Structure 1
């Protein structure tokens, strides 16, 4: 582009930038502002357009239903809030509009021939056509077990295998009650992360490793992977570690678990730097309001990223407005201290946030439960043990 054309283009862009919103809206109504669009074309290994290929942003497999609808394979495009895939037309094409046109990662599957493809679309591709070339897929499979869980006396209730692409984006996962996983993948580099779950939400340690699938490779057997129990799993049914690592308490004199025997204690490990933690607090406030008079004691355990209650309060000013409806936390919070994320975090083996650990009226660890439903369902049962 010569200088004159560049100058004209710059003037046009400047004029458009400062144009009143009403002018832009009017132009949009007349179709001047085109709707975002991305056209995908599924291509067979021989280069011919492929009709009938399923395309989505990822793939989930629930092998044994797991309470989900009966379909085994679920693919999704979040923009349209759909759990079924698009299917390429007679020309092999799929047209995405609106929010769906902003997606940048697509998995394609042609089940009858065992073909699969994966495409990472470059930024700025909206408005163009992108080809997804499918190839004979490699069947990646393996078994997951836990000798540690067997030793503890409770089997795995389910396992989950998470598959990530070369940019560490979650591509798909496989949920099984039979301790297995299986994926159909095109050639490339991936990472696989596996975890097992036992009773009361307790889990194994996560194991993650790299997969390299070569061109023309048709099978990759991952063998049998042994998943070791977490420290929290080892504590299940055992006496809960005391709260001796707390350096300072917010809203409460120092607490001891021994003095709380006869109550159901909910330890919430969290950090003020974590948005999911902050968004969890309204559910915990609601549970506090429902059960505080019935013998449920909720205690927050903040990691060691803050040293004093004053520092924590300063970090929570925004959270009060954005997430908590200007309400303060109605339950006490203890500040952890020590190495890593804090001594109490280490004692319970916590390295994910938020983590909610429940202690029964006898002072034993009763499990790990999500505040969204699972905990609320468990509390009445535990209160019946009083």
Structure 2
């Protein structure tokens, strides 16, 4: 009986365990099925836009995108205007509304939250900021007669310095600071077709390679029934760096500590092409740019190119800098070390050297020619190497 009783009890326990296992398996299958359905739903997320006219009637054939880029250029030919609608994730924009005024966005396209609409036959436009959580619903975008917002851009400072204003760029932002469109011109102008609302314009100009004006930003209010808004002539001042171009490079006064070098003087480097890299160890774009600069150092260091890093004053000595860079070595640099010297800036703002050169964005790469004059600022991703090669070939 004891043995038989034990056997009976054991069999009962075995049945209970088997039943629990079966129920657990069914529960897991249900969870997996629900998860698959939810994932399938996520891949099928949609957002329906209905385009309607001023009186509320559906509009067929309206163009819809997340914004508009306008290029007005000649390049030696008669001026032409090129429109580029911002693109979605799955296919090219713009989308066109159907006979019921509808556009159905799917997948990643349905995640966009800002839409600009043009209906050229009637001169109507619209803009809509869609609220978060709108995916799966329908949103109406009402069109209205467009207001032509336009203006001229010049730079008396460039004229004074002898720099031609070769190109201007005007960025248009909505009331939340989202970029709606931009206008690139060789004629020093911009023009946007907008519905009523509050916007911000940010404009700057470009001269010869490496020389730019400062960026100016101001508010623009378009009334709902307004047809034309002339913003007038805006004078874009040159940057501090543009003022320095063609003049002897200021010395690196304000450096309080040097990594990998004794204190350097630019005047002693005449005959070399000097590349000043302004950066901060707190900036991910700066950290990701360093491998490219390491490669340039490897390629050009023995050909007369001297790369010098100028770190901002967010650290006060080399020990602090090295502590900040511990993770960057592993994540971004493949455990490589910086082989070019780095000076640590000090003083007001981001540091005295930053102030002297007018640096307000990072990373910034300033090139000094073999004569010791500031040549301009250049992107390390391509243009910089071409500039170095040209300067060395002209010696």
TM-score between the two structures when normalised by the length of structure 1: 0.90
Matched, 1:252 2:269: no
Return closer, same or farther for 1:18/1:77 CA change in 2, 3 Å cut-off.
Answer: farther
Pairwise CA distance, 1:208: 1.0
Q: Residue 281 of structure 1 aligns to a residue in which SS? A: helix
Pairwise CA distance, 1:54: 1.2
The aligned counterpart of 2:15 is: none
| Aligned with residue 39 of structure 1, among 32, 48, 66 | 48
Matches within 5 A, 1:51-130: 51-64=60-73, 72-80=82-90, 82=92, 84-130=93-139
Matched, 1:294 2:303: yes
Pairwise CA distance, 1:19: 8.1
Return closer, same or farther for 1:72/1:54 CA change in 2, 3 Å cut-off.
Answer: same
Q: How big is each residue's C-alpha offset from its partner over 1:244-265, in whole Å with a ceiling of 9 and x where there is no partner?
A: 2111111222111112111101
Structure-2 separation of matches of 1:174 and 1:255: 43
> Do 2:210 and 2:375's aligned partners in 1 also have CA atoms closer than 8 Å?
no
What is the number of equivalent residue pairs in this alignment?
366
Larger radius of gyration: 2
Pairwise CA distance, 1:222: 0.7
Matches within 5 A, 1:1-386: 22-24=32-34, 26-27=36-37, 35-64=44-73, 72-80=82-90, 82=92, 84-386=93-395
Return closer, same or farther for 1:146/1:92 CA change in 2, 3 Å cut-off.
Answer: same
Return closer, same or farther for 1:338/1:316 CA change in 2, 3 Å cut-off.
Answer: same
Return closer, same or farther for 1:146/1:362 CA change in 2, 3 Å cut-off.
Answer: same
Kindly report the root-mean-square deviation, in angstroms, between the aligned alpha carbons of the 2 structures: 2.1
Structure-2 separation of matches of 1:66 and 1:337: 44
Return closer, same or farther for 1:260/1:33 CA change in 2, 3 Å cut-off.
Answer: closer
Return closer, same or farther for 1:57/1:222 CA change in 2, 3 Å cut-off.
Answer: same
Structure-2 separation of matches of 1:153 and 1:92: 53
Identify unmatched segments of 5+ residues in structure 1: 1-16
Structure-1 separation of matches of 2:354 and 2:239: 12
Return closer, same or farther for 1:34/1:340 CA change in 2, 3 Å cut-off.
Answer: closer
> Do 1:77 and 1:100's aligned partners in 2 also have CA atoms closer than 8 Å?
no
Q: How big is each residue's C-alpha offset from its partner over 1:177-213, in whole Å with a ceiling of 9 and x where there is no partner?
A: 1100000011000010110111122111111111011
Q: Residue 72 of structure 1 aligns to a residue in which SS? A: strand
Structure-1 separation of matches of 2:74 and 2:94: 18
Structure-1 separation of matches of 2:380 and 2:74: 23
> Do 2:310 and 2:345's aligned partners in 1 also have CA atoms closer than 8 Å?
yes
Q: How big is each residue's C-alpha offset from its partner over 1:268-301, in whole Å with a ceiling of 9 and x where there is no partner?
A: 1111122221221122112112111111111111
Q: How big is each residue's C-alpha offset from its partner over 1:51-83, in whole Å with a ceiling of 9 and x where there is no partner?
A: 11111111111111779xx8711111342374x
Return closer, same or farther for 1:243/1:18 CA change in 2, 3 Å cut-off.
Answer: farther
> Do 1:74 and 1:85's aligned partners in 2 also have CA atoms closer than 8 Å?
no
Identify unmatched segments of 5+ residues in structure 2: 1-26
Q: How big is each residue's C-alpha offset from its partner over 1:74-98, in whole Å with a ceiling of 9 and x where there is no partner?
A: 111342374x411222222222111
Structure-1 separation of matches of 2:331 and 2:125: 43
> Do 1:361 and 1:385's aligned partners in 2 also have CA atoms closer than 8 Å?
no
> Do 1:267 and 1:356's aligned partners in 2 also have CA atoms closer than 8 Å?
yes
